[in-house]
Amino acid sequence: MSTETESVVDGVRRLVLSGQYASGDRLGEVELAAALGVSRTPVREALRLLAAEGLLEITPNKGARVVAWSPAELEEIFALRAQVEGLAARRATERVTPEQLDELERLAVEHSEATGAGPGYDLERVYELNALFHGRIVQAAGGGTSLTSVVNSLVHSVVLHRTLHTFDDVAMKRSSRHHVEIVAAMRSRDPEWAECVMRGHLLSARAALLGPRPHPGSPPTPTTL
């Protein structure tokens, strides 16, 4: 929106991302207004925007809190991303330009290099490369406002950070290879291949983050026996 409100949005995002405010913490309006040097009005608007985006949740007369993602919700988010970004990968493959392909390949290769050194990566860099890669896919898909906003509402920085931190070395390298394979599928102009790998990529991230998931037919809580 306006320059002032938008800077507040970024400011609050930074505060949440940097861990100044953890999951479940309260975000007071006056407190933020003082911290960012503006009045309550733009702060209120920024909080509403971030709430609509899914990063905060607001309850009337009680204020804003950082959302606390339950495992069930994380599971749902990645299931949705598998569907939506799978679609994005398919469409991107149908429309991608050679320049975009080169850009994607560059990002995939750099991601590989950043994760190739074994444990002890530069997580910030890996995070950035990953976010760029997924964003460019959506962009290449001809991203109308709907696709873009749905993906944005699903890809919260906080979740991504948490995800990367829980990745072990195997999951990290697998994720990197997925990126490379997606580019290969797109170069082959094979939308179905690209879609499948992208879905697998996100479902594999879900598994790395949450472990195996129960399903209806499984025996009841075998882990407790």
Partner DNA sequence: GGACCCCATATTGCATACATTCTGCGGGTT
Partner DNA sequence: AACCCGCAGAATGTATGCAATATGGGGTCC
Question: Which positions touch DNA (CB under 7 A)?
Answer: 1-5, 26-31, 38-42, 44-45, 58, 60-64
The one of a second copy, DNA, none whose footprint includes residue 86, by CB under 5 to 8 A per kind, is a second copy
The amino acid present at 33, given as its one-letter code, is A
Structure tokens given for 174: 């697998």
Residue 80 is a binding residue for a second copy (CB under 8 A)? yes
As measured in angstroms, the least distance from the Cβ of 7 to DNA is 8
Torsion sign (Cα): 221, 78, 102, 168:
negative
Distance of closest approach, residue 31 Cβ to a second copy, in angstroms: 19
Strand 26-27 and strand 63-66: the pairing is antiparallel
**7 lies in the binding site for a second copy (CB under 8 A):** no
- The kind and range of the H/E element at 204 are helix 191-210
Q: Which is nearer to DNA, 20 or 166 (CB)?
A: 20
From the list a second copy, DNA, none, partner contacted by residue 30 (C-beta under 5 to 8 A by kind): DNA
Q: What are the two backbone dihedrals, phi and then psi, of residue 57, each rounded to the nearest 5 degrees?
A: -135, 140
Tell me how crowded residue 18 is: count the other CB atoms within 10 A of its CB. 8
Residue 83 engages a second copy in binding (rule: CB under 8 A): yes
CA distance 34 to 136: 37
Q: Can you tell me the distance from the alpha carbon of 207 to that of 167, in angstroms, rounded to the nearest whole number?
A: 10
Q: Which does 144 bind (CB under 5 to 8 A by kind): DNA, a second copy, none?
A: a second copy
CA distance 128 to 94: 26
Choose the one of DNA, a second copy, none that binds residue 158, judging by a C-beta under 5 to 8 angstroms depending on kind. Answer: none
Q: How far is the CB of 206 from a second copy (least distance, A)?
A: 13
79 binds, among a second copy, DNA, none (CB under 5 to 8 A by kind): a second copy
Question: Which residues contact residue 1 at a Cβ distance below 8 angstroms, ignoring those fewer than 6 apart?
Answer: 45, 49
Stretch touching a second copy by CB under 8 A, among 18-26, 58-66, 108-116, 179-187: 58-66
Contact (CB, 8 A) for 21 and 66: yes
Under rule CB under 8 A, residue 86 binds a second copy:
yes
Helix, strand or coil, per DSSP, at residue 63: strand
What residue 49 binds from DNA, a second copy, none (CB within 5 to 8 A, per partner kind)?
Answer: a second copy
Interface residue list for a second copy (CB under 8 A) = 1-3, 44-45, 48-49, 52-54, 58, 60-61, 67, 70, 72-73, 76-77, 79-80, 83-84, 86-87, 94, 142, 144-147, 149-150, 153-154, 216
